[in-house]
Amino acid sequence: MTTVNSTIAPLDKSAQISVIGAGTMGAGIAQVAAAYGHPVILFDQNPEAIQRGLDHIQKGLQGQVKRGKMTEEALQALMANITPATDIAALADCKLVIEAIIEDLGIKRGLLANLEANCAEDCILATNTSSISVTALGAEMKHPERLVGMHFFNPAPIMKLVEIVSGLATSTANAALTHATASAWGKQAVYTKSTPGFIVNRVARPFYAESLRISEEGGADTATLDQLIKGAGGFRMGPFELMDLIGHDVNYAVTCSVFDAYYQDPRFLPSLTQKALVECGRLGRKSGHGFYDYSEGAEKPAA
């Protein structure tokens, strides 16, 4: 692990932040930055996705107010810090832009080119990619030194860990400023290099892969495996519940990316069961159905 530079100051609260992509991760990251006090622009190409993201944040915060963990005033103040945008020109004054769009190298590169053209030179461009090489993402950039991996975990407002990922061209100063900022936001930031799957997603591949194999081979069904891993293993979530939470499109893309990065090493072989779920749109919680059915009235996985 690279040594932590503890002397560098985080971005000031007044610094304008933007999060691109208002989905599962983007909404959560916007909430974290807004809770710290930053003015945050929540950008998505789809205005309905922004509204869904804002509703999701608001609903989560209302739950906290009900439980007495937050005041209504604090909720209002946090929501007031988030401004929706669909025009990239709105990002001109940002100091940090975090992209959390679809896990696709070509699409992310296109967005980064667009950001380079529209953001100030001193703006750090961060990517929340789960598994795409930060070096490869920066390869077509004019200034790849400004690109830093800032990998949050799901749900972003709750999970403490943030991997600060350096590609070959990432500048130490930008990685350190991103690390300091994530730490100021209350996160446990960890430096790492851009290896396939970084740290956690690499370690977690067998957790998903072997659970999928046991179920495909008829060793035990998904609900039994989830219960067993939680009950006997002490995990907060079973592998199938967790894949439903992450989204099968995302989880499958991560496995494919790690598999390819290791020259099709069979240890990382993607699951056909998961591929089929993606193909039929059963993406997990976000689509209402994955291994479990999340529709109104359906039986939910046991807690």
Q: Establish if 44 lies at the interface with ligand NAI (CB under 6 A).
A: yes
Among 17, 26, 229, 258, binds ligand NAI (CB under 6 A): 26
Binding span for ligand NAI by CB under 6 A among 33-41, 101-109, 142-150, 223-231: 101-109
Q: Is 241 in the active site?
A: no
Among 11, 17, 19, 22, binds ligand NAI (CB under 6 A): 22
Q: Is 163 in the active site?
A: yes
Q: Establish if 270 lies at the interface with ligand NAI (CB under 6 A).
A: no
Nearer to ligand NAI, 36 or 43 (CB): 43
Positions in 60-99 near ligand NAI (CB under 6 A):
none
What length does the chain have? 303
CB of 43 to ligand NAI, least distance (A): 6
> Structure tokens of 133?
């090489």
Q: Is 46 in the active site?
A: no
Q: Is 154 in the active site?
A: no
Nearer to ligand NAI, 21 or 197 (CB): 21
Binding span for ligand NAI by CB under 6 A among 63-71, 103-111, 188-196, 223-231: 103-111
> Structure tokens of 255?
């496995």
Q: Which residues bind ligand NAI (CB under 6 A)?
A: 20-26, 44-46, 49, 100-103, 107, 111, 128-130, 152-154, 246-247, 250, 286
